[in-house]
Amino acid sequence: MWKRLSFFFLLLQFLLCPCRGEQVWDDEWPCEKKRELGILPLPRHVRGAGGPLSLPNRTYSVFVSDKLSCEALDDSLLVLFKEFGCRPVKNNPGLRLFLLTPDAIASPEIKPEGQDGTLLTNRAGDQGYWLKIHSSPAGPIIHCVANTAQGVFYGLQTLRFFHVDPKEPVLPELEILDYPAFRHRVVLEGGYGAWPHEERLLLYPFEGRVKMNGYIYAPKAVPSFRKRWRRLHTEEDLQQFKTEIDEATRYFVSYSYALSPVVRPTYASERTMDILMKKFGALQDMGVTDFGLFFDDVLPALCTPQDIEKYASVGEAQADLANRLLEALEARSPVKSFFFTPSQYAGTTPSDYMAALKEHLRKDIRRGWTGPSICSFEISLEDLKAYEELCGGPVAIGDNHPVNRPLCLGPLRNRDIDLYTHCDSYATNPLTESIETQSVEASRVSVATIADYAWNPLEYDPDWSWKQALLLLGGERAYPWLRVLAEQNQESCCHFSVPSKAKTLAKTFLERGDDPATDALWELKNEFTLYMQARNELKRRLKNELFMDRVQEELQELQDMGSKGVGLVRRITAHDSAAEEELAELVEKMQ
């Protein structure tokens, strides 16, 4: 009996434990300790004393392996040491940084595992890195070792989270082995709006900062993508694409180009293929290696006599077009990935359409899927496996959090931690509600939490990730007011928000019938005061003008709610019997 009880308690502890990461070192830190570092995404493996290593002076030197040298890393180093407040010197630097490939490490004692670096080579792949900050008589030394420049770039992004205090410049003594769970971590511009060109250029450095590595161009509001898909791109369009591709490449973000040929298509027509190849080929000539076709949000049907004669179903027709397009692109130059968003892109219900795709679509083409629903409250591994079987090929998750809301500043929730075992691509579809109010800046908070999940889902904690995303956006100075703004604007179409602190305090007070003089009521007043202050304080403390422009309406609503809440608390303390009823009404309007 005791053995059964012991097993039960061990199982319960495992199920309730928020940290389920793999372990590669006997002495590695638990995830609670890793979270204290404030690194987003949360690193996979950390160990070391963690104690501070003093910087004897504000100087540094860098050695970079020839195999890793590139303009992107040069730019990243400038940003890193500007944030550290350090200047480069040739002799006697206070900090030495080595960016190396495993075969370039001359000293055995600094290799991962202290041996031959196989842990790095086998685990990290082409995106992971090994980072070691350790002491020497001349000052701290940092080794960042990776198989590729992309891996080193991600190691440098991790270093940027170690904010060096100007008054007491120190670094933690530790070792990090880090690599992503999902190979492709993507931002999809796929809603019914379109982001401004200037904001796309701001997106790519942010993606690199949080270790996302893909962008998919699929804006339905742009006529040449969908409504007038046959229209060839102008020279101005192509120049804009080139600028975006070059900027994305600087941050190791793979630029993917897609079209949605759903308006009166003739799938069998050679003219259709000629148009597609002219448009796709122009982007391929610019260096794009990832492509896709979107057949979402349309009634799948064959519309022309030529198609009706050739194909038994629209599923077969769409698959044939995708196969022919991919084959033609491969004949021009190598294609890294090709994705296909079917007309049935949610759920796991069998259909003739999905059966045709399973039979005819190439097995190396990724099938887009939003989960059990278009906006999925949860996505389980069981559902993913069911769709994988239904579609007959690899699945790319296209999460519709945080799309289709005027503003969503909430984190990703309710995704199984092991989806990556059956899927290598995780895309988020951020805010694109209307072309008039487009601002990808408003999605930064949600996207950062998705980046955290896609990198390290085994240890993902939505509330911790949410806080770190807000800190990344505004820092400690702006955090109290960003928090209340985010709590009142956390809902997405996936509907997994949690009660705000103010709502929880108010409901607790009303349900318990507390005395108006209790601490809980005064704490509620303080929370409402933050609501009142948020507009002015964020204007003063947050430097992101695009974000501030986008949230003005929500900040005004927050200020009005706070003003009313403070007034109600005052009336309650004055024993106004009607005030509690009005507070209950206000609570119902709050998130």
**Residue 283 is encoded by which pair of tokens?**
């982007």
Grade residue 193 by pLDDT with cuts at 50, 70 and 90.
confident
CATH number at 344 reads 3.20.20.80
Grade residue 317 by pLDDT with cuts at 50, 70 and 90.
very high
Instruction: Clarify whether residues 466 and 456 are in a common domain.
Output: no
**For residue range 194-247, what is the model confidence (pLDDT) as tens digits?**
888 999 999 999 999 999 999 999 999 899 999 999 999 999 999 999 999 999
6 pLDDT more than 70:
no
**Given 155, 178, 201, which residue is the final one in a domain?**
178
Q: Nearest to residue 280, comparing CAs of 300, 260, 304?
A: 260
Geometric angle at alpha carbon 500, from 586 and 505, rounded to 5°: 70
**Given 178, 194, 217, which residue is the final one in a domain?**
178
Is there a domain that residue 16 lies in?
no
Q: How many percent of the chain have pLDDT more than 70?
A: 91
Coil, strand or helix at 338? strand
Q: For residue 106, what pLDDT is reported?
A: 58
Extract the runs of DSSP E, i.e. beta strands, from 342-453: 366-369, 395-399, 425-428
Instruction: Clarify whether residues 96 and 235 are in a common domain.
Output: no
Instruction: Clarify whether residues 168 and 261 are in a common domain.
Output: no
**For residue range 402-439, what is the model confidence (pLDDT) as tens digits?**
875 678 899 999 999 999 999 999 999 986 554 455 56
Instruction: Clarify whether residues 149 and 192 are in a common domain.
Output: no
Element spanning 513, H or E: none
Instruction: Clarify whether residues 195 and 268 are in a common domain.
Output: yes
**For residue range 530-561, what is the model confidence (pLDDT) as tens digits?**
999 999 999 999 989 989 998 999 999 999 99
Is there a domain that residue 6 lies in?
no
User: Is the bond into 462 cis (omega within 30 degrees of 0)?
Assistant: no
Is there a domain that residue 244 lies in?
yes
Instruction: Clarify whether residues 421 and 500 are in a common domain.
Output: no
Instruction: Clarify whether residues 214 and 171 are in a common domain.
Output: no
Q: For residue 538, what pLDDT is reported?
A: 97
The one-letter amino acid at 479: Y
Whether 97 contacts 55, CB under 8 Å:
no
Residue 157 phi, psi (nearest 5): -65, -35
Domains contained in the chain, number: 3
Is there a domain that residue 9 lies in?
no
Instruction: Clarify whether residues 158 and 264 are in a common domain.
Output: no
**Given 413, 444, 460, which residue is the final one in a domain?**
460
Q: How many percent of the chain have pLDDT more than 90?
A: 72
Q: For residue 10, what pLDDT is reported?
A: 33
Whether 170 contacts 90, CB under 8 Å:
no
39 pLDDT more than 80:
yes
Mean pLDDT is lowest, of 259-263, 366-370, 392-396, 435-439, for 435-439
Is there a domain that residue 330 lies in?
yes
Alpha helix (H) residue ranges in 488-551? 501-512, 519-541, 545-550
307 pLDDT more than 60:
yes
Mean pLDDT of 373-387: 97
Whether 462 contacts 413, CB under 8 Å:
yes
Q: Nearest to residue 167, comparing CAs of 59, 49, 85?
A: 85
What does the longest C-alpha to C-alpha distance in the chain come to? 80
Please name the residues in contact with 530: beta carbons below 8 A apart, sequence gap of 6 or more: 480, 481, 483, 484, 562
Mean pLDDT is lowest, of 92-106, 425-439, 449-463, 483-497, for 425-439
Is there a domain that residue 55 lies in?
yes
Instruction: Clarify whether residues 154 and 193 are in a common domain.
Output: no
**For residue range 323-337, what is the model confidence (pLDDT) as tens digits?**
999 999 999 999 999
Instruction: Clarify whether residues 220 and 72 are in a common domain.
Output: no
Grade residue 12 by pLDDT with cuts at 50, 70 and 90.
very low
The one-letter amino acid at 497: S
Q: For residue 575, what pLDDT is reported?
A: 87
**For residue range 122-180, what is the model confidence (pLDDT) as tens digits?**
778 899 999 999 988 878 899 999 999 999 999 999 999 997 777 777 899 999 999 99
CATH number at 99 reads 3.30.379.10
370 pLDDT more than 70:
yes
Instruction: Clarify whether residues 52 and 167 are in a common domain.
Output: yes
Instruction: Clarify whether residues 362 and 485 are in a common domain.
Output: no
Is there a domain that residue 35 lies in?
yes
Q: For residue 121, what pLDDT is reported?
A: 65
Tokens 């896609």 sit on residue: 454
Domain range for residue 510?
462-591
Is there a domain that residue 521 lies in?
yes
Mean pLDDT over the full length of the chain: 90
Q: Nearest to residue 532, comparing CAs of 559, 556, 555, 554?
A: 559
